[in-house]
Amino acid sequence: NYAVTGFAAQQALLSWSPLLRPFVHRFLPACQQLRQLTAVGHRVIQPYIDARREAVRKAEAEGREAPRAEDMIGWMEEMARERGVAGGKRGSKKGFDIADAQIMLSIAAIHTTAEAYTWVVADLIEHPEYAAPLREEVAAVLGPEGRWQKNSLYRMALHDSFIKESHRRHMVDALVMDRYVSRPVTLSDGLVLPAGTALMVHATNNLSDSFWPNARSFDGHRFANLRKQPGEESRHQLVSTSAEHLGFGLGSQACPGRFFAANTMKLMLAHFVTKYDWKFAEEKPQLRAPFGSSVYVNPMLQVKARRREEEEVSL
């Protein structure tokens, strides 16, 4: 509930003057609920962090190499220690509060993946001709007993392509790659960006015919076909980034969670097409809900699902 409540609290605060927000947030119900959820998150996460810190302290005291955790909490702890801000806890003005940061990351992870996958479902309903090929791919990769193997998701090229095509056409925000100019930069045309400039990139390339033939049309096979070309096997995967497809950003600051998100969406799509048939509740529903520079799926959109009688594979 943290992500949903966080956006509700944001909207509640936006209706007040910036001068009053430091005071009124204490009395707004959404903000009060958000603080309660944050406290719950801390009670769950902080003991885990404390146990890790104790393991590191003990290893260093005994002259052993400190255990290293290969996850986000471990990475944040290492970065905080390197920068001299480790050890922070809730309510303290000193140190980096890792539990708080982990809770905040849920907003970045949950609503973006949910929004992207909701568009995938909408595109599947709008283009039902892809349902059968997607089911056939699941059956071909997993077999009738539904046996998942290490490379099963990689072999689902059509699932990968279908989701990437949906992502290309329905980016959550038209403005991406927020950046801050730390020192003056001169562009190739002579334009100088002074230090302190905030800039973003307009993701028009995603819908440009210069990069994608019939860019405004949905082609679920688009990227699967591109991957069949020699030397292009990896460039057009869902998790691949390029200047022509900015859904996950670009360069060293590209979305680090895109691999997990891609696998999650492919698993859900395989489950959805295998077990259910889908349709819109209305014949011609309003799909888009613009909000600032973003275009979300209409939150009032309703769909119908019916359990399929015949399943090609047992999931």
Q: Which residues are annotated as a binding site?
A: 255
Give phi and psi for 63, each to the nearest 5: 75, 15
| Residue among 284, 268, 274, 9 at smallest CA distance from 131 | 274
Q: Are strands 192-193 and 198-202 parallel, antiparallel or unpaired?
A: unpaired
Residues 6+ apart with CB under 8 A from 104: none
Q: How far does CA 190 lie from the centroid of its chain?
A: 35
Structural tokens at position 123: 């595109």
What's the CA gap between 261 and 120, in Å, rounded? 13
Q: How far does CA 217 lie from the centroid of its chain?
A: 24
Q: Which residues are annotated as a binding site for heme?
A: 255
Give the start-end residues of each E strand in 94-216: 175-180, 185-186, 192-193, 198-202
Instruction: Tell me which residue has tokens 């009053």.
Output: 20
Which H/E stretch holds residue 270? Answer: helix 258-275
Give phi and psi for 198, each to the nearest 5: -100, 135
Contact predicate 155/141, CB 8 Å: yes
Helix (H, G, I), strand (E, B) or coil at 110: helix
> What is the CB neighbour count within 10 angstroms for residue 67?
11
3-state helix, strand, coil in the chain (%, to 5): 50, 10, 40
Q: How far does CA 268 lie from the centroid of its chain?
A: 14
What's the CA gap between 102 and 77, in Å, rounded? 11
